[in-house]
Amino acid sequence: MNTKGRVALITGSAGGIGKAIAVKLSQHGAKVIINDVQQEKIDETVAIIREAGGDVIGIKSDITNKTEVQEMFAQIIESYGKFDILVNNVGISRDALIVKMEEEDWDKVLNTNLKSYFLCTQEATKHFIQQEYGRIINISSRAWLGGFGQANYSAAKGGVVSLTRTCAIELAKYNVTANCIAPGLIDTPLFRSFRQDSQERLLKIQPINRIGQPEEVANAAVFFASDDSGYVTGQILHVCGGKSLGARW
């Protein structure tokens, strides 16, 4: 799977799944842009990729803000002269039962996990249509099927799936594909922030009885980013150890 010479933006990529995708794309020859809101972590990830010989820049940007998104893309074009691959990855959670969920937590999760995907996709699409080439990879979650105490998170991730399918339909004639990855339990700082008993409970019902690694999600992202996936669009790939099929009892 070759992405040599392609220019790829990965949002929320200073750590976790986003970082793994950025590293993997760089290993396959892509020029990568690390985006996040924490400059120190951006610099750390940029240094890791650069030390391995990768072509990389970091951009701190609040991608829930349209002006900052536009400025970020302008900087990408100034640096590389083109843009080829968008990986919408940024995500947060603010779990609570729906009767207790604060409006602020609903808005924060929907803005971060869905609105940012729309804003970045809208801006990227301008370049994709002009050059008649592009790859959109959206990171959703198995939670798009529903999750206890996750009305905001599940709604946002379900919205990501629908956004992906719509983009696939609208952009196919421009040689632009849009696909979605739905990870399950992945060894990220978010999962490790759960209480120990919660982690154990989730693992107990996991069909493949282990936690997934960020690199396993990255492998799927590289496929969707490569020319090998040119006839695949509008699809959802669950990287979830079988959890989308049901729980292991």
State whether residue 60 is helix, strand or coil: strand
Buried b (16+ CB within 10 A) or exposed e, 195-217: eeeeeeebeeebeeeebbebebb
Is 95 within 8 Å of 108 (Cβ atoms)? no
pLDDT tens column, 7-60: 999 999 999 999 999 999 999 999 999 999 999 999 999 999 999 999 999 999
**Under a CB-based contact definition with an 8 Å cutoff, are residues 27 and 56 in contact?**
no
- Residue 35, domain CATH: 3.40.50.720
Report if residue 249 sits inside a domain: no
Tens digits of residue pLDDT in 206-240: 888 889 999 999 999 999 999 999 999 999 999 99
State the total domains in the chain.
1
The answer to whether residue 200 sits within a structural domain is yes
Kindly state whether residue 247 falls inside one of the protein's structural domains. Answer: no
Indicate the pTM of the whole model.
0.94
- Report yes or no on 246 lying in a domain: no
Task: Give the confidence band of 196 by pLDDT, cuts at 50, 70, 90.
Answer: confident
Q: Which of 80, 133, 153, 231 is catalytic?
A: 153
pLDDT in tens, 65-122: 999 999 999 999 999 999 999 999 999 999 999 999 999 999 999 999 999 999 999 9
Residue 232 belongs to what domain range?
A: 7-239
Q: Let me know if 231 is a catalytic residue.
A: no
Residue pair 35/9 in contact by the 8 Å Cβ criterion: yes
Task: Kindly tell me the burial class for residue 111, based on how many C-beta atoms sit within 10 Å of its own C-beta (0-12, 13-18, 19 or more).
Answer: middle
CA distances 7 to 99, 129, 183, 222, Å, are: 44, 15, 24, 13
1 is a domain residue? no
